[in-house]
Amino acid sequence: MTTIYRPISDPLEYDTFGCHPFENDPATPDRTTRQVFLRRQVADWNVDMKDGSQLQFWGFKDPDVSGSDSPWPSKLIRVKQGQVFHCEFKPTKGAHTIHWHGIEPTPMNDGVGHTSFEVKSSYVYQWCAHQAGTYLYHCHKNTVLHFEMGMYGVLIVDPLTKNPDTKNPNYLYDPVAGDVPSAITPGAPYSAESILVFDDVDPVWHKLDHNAGMCGDDVGLDKFNPTYFLINGVHNGRTQTDTRTVTRMTAGRHLLLRVANASYSRLHITLPFNCYIVEVDGRPLRTNRPKGWFSAPEYKAAGSKLEVGVAQRYAIWAPEVPRGDHQIIGNFHHWITNKRHFDGTAIAKIVAL
């Protein structure tokens, strides 16, 4: 019988690539003047699950805000397009990183261990957001485990412009000259915003060590059997009543719904109103020749379904939301069988009065 050999290319690199990533505390390369500065540290805390049990989660805390430094997911970061951003990261509890998911800086500021370094005790990340949209930030050390353990938050880049329409004062992105007219109002103006991050939790994983599995030991990171399903850290028994997952707005105004999938499941969302997909993964869907976009908003009639892939973000624009309660239904499906998980539904709500 023929053997297909896979000779090891470099044992030393095999070791550092997975098992012992490079740790360092370098000065920020090509450091420049900043407009935004914030700090992050690593913390852990317990979160109540649906059955009353508590599980440990890890995340990023803001040392400059006392008392409110341990929400999960980690605190929302909002910056404006064009701002030079600095984040001083002091991990503690071993090396970690912050990857600015969807933001595209240099490799040293990208927060990936095997292409740069893991932060040993302190590093200042630097980037400049060139495009308004919806992003995430998360730890990229032993990512399999740390992302599941909750080390993530939402990052939003807002445009510079305010809409003159005071009833819908915020834009998703700056409308600029050359935008080809489409079905939506350019810039997707809105008065109310709902940010929903869906996640699933396998309690077995929440008892593991930070470095579990990194050196090839079989700790079962290829087995993920979620039993809890949450939105914004709220378990699915409460998502229709909790203020973190219910958005109140004035009927007849425009809503911007930002959805992200932080689970390891296929997430199928049902949309309750006529709406448009106006942004995916931090890129608005519009056509503007010099700016070089080649896409258009996509109409979704009430009742439409949308699959949000793991770590994808979608921004959905619902103009003139009708009076009433509107359910955003998320169904979590197994990544291999595509069967819905037991209890794998979480519903958020928009209340338009």
- Shortest gap between Cβ of 139 and Cu ion (angstroms)? 3
**Which residues, 6 or more positions from 75, have their beta carbon under 8 angstroms from its beta carbon?**
60, 61, 62, 65, 68, 69, 153
Per-residue binding letters, 237-276, with other proteins (x by CB under 8 A): ---------------------------x-x----------
One-letter amino acid for residue 208 of the chain: L
22 interacts with other proteins by CB under 8 A: no
Give dist(CA 240, CA 348) in Å, integer: 5
Rg (CA), the chain: 21
Among 51, 53, 78, 130, binds other proteins (CB under 8 A): 130
146 binds Cu ion (CB under 5 A): yes
C-alpha 89 chain-centroid distance: 18
| Stretch of 15-23, 70-78, 113-121, 141-149 lying at the interface with Cu ion (CB under 5 A) | 141-149
Q: Is 61 in the site for Cu ion (CB under 5 A)?
A: no
Task: Give 45 or 293: the residue with its C-beta nearer to other proteins.
Answer: 293
Q: Which does 96 bind (CB under 5 to 8 A by kind): Cu ion, other proteins, none?
A: Cu ion
- Residue range at the interface with other proteins (CB under 8 A); choices 62-70, 95-103, 158-166, 249-257: 95-103
What single DSSP character describes residue 28? P
* Lookup result for tokens 């921004």: 315
Nearer to Cu ion, 101 or 253 (CB): 101
Site for other proteins contains 312 (CB under 8 A): yes
| One-letter identity of residue 96 | H
Residue 348 makes contact with Cu ion by CB under 5 A: no
Q: Which stretch binds other proteins (CB under 8 A): 64-72, 191-199, 231-239, 287-295?
A: 287-295
323 counts as binding other proteins under rule CB under 8 A = no
* Cβ proximity of 133 and 315 under 8 Å: yes
| 96 near Cu ion, rule: CB under 5 A | yes
Q: Long-range contacts of range 210-219, CB-CB < 8 Å, 24 or more positions apart? A: 210/58, 210/93, 210/94, 210/141, 210/142, 210/145, 210/146, 211/94, 211/142, 212/142, 212/145, 213/142, 213/144, 213/145, 214/18, 214/19, 214/142, 215/18, 215/19, 215/20, 216/18, 216/19
SS3 state of residue 215: coil
- The answer to whether 128 contacts other proteins (rule: CB under 8 A) is yes
Q: Mask of contacts with other proteins, 289-308, x by CB under 8 A? A: xxxxxxxx-x--------x-
Residue 201's binding partner out of other proteins, Cu ion, none, with CB under 5 to 8 Å set by partner kind: none
- Closer residue to Cu ion (CB): 195 or 260: 260
Site residues (vs Cu ion, CB under 5 A): 96, 101, 139, 141, 146, 151
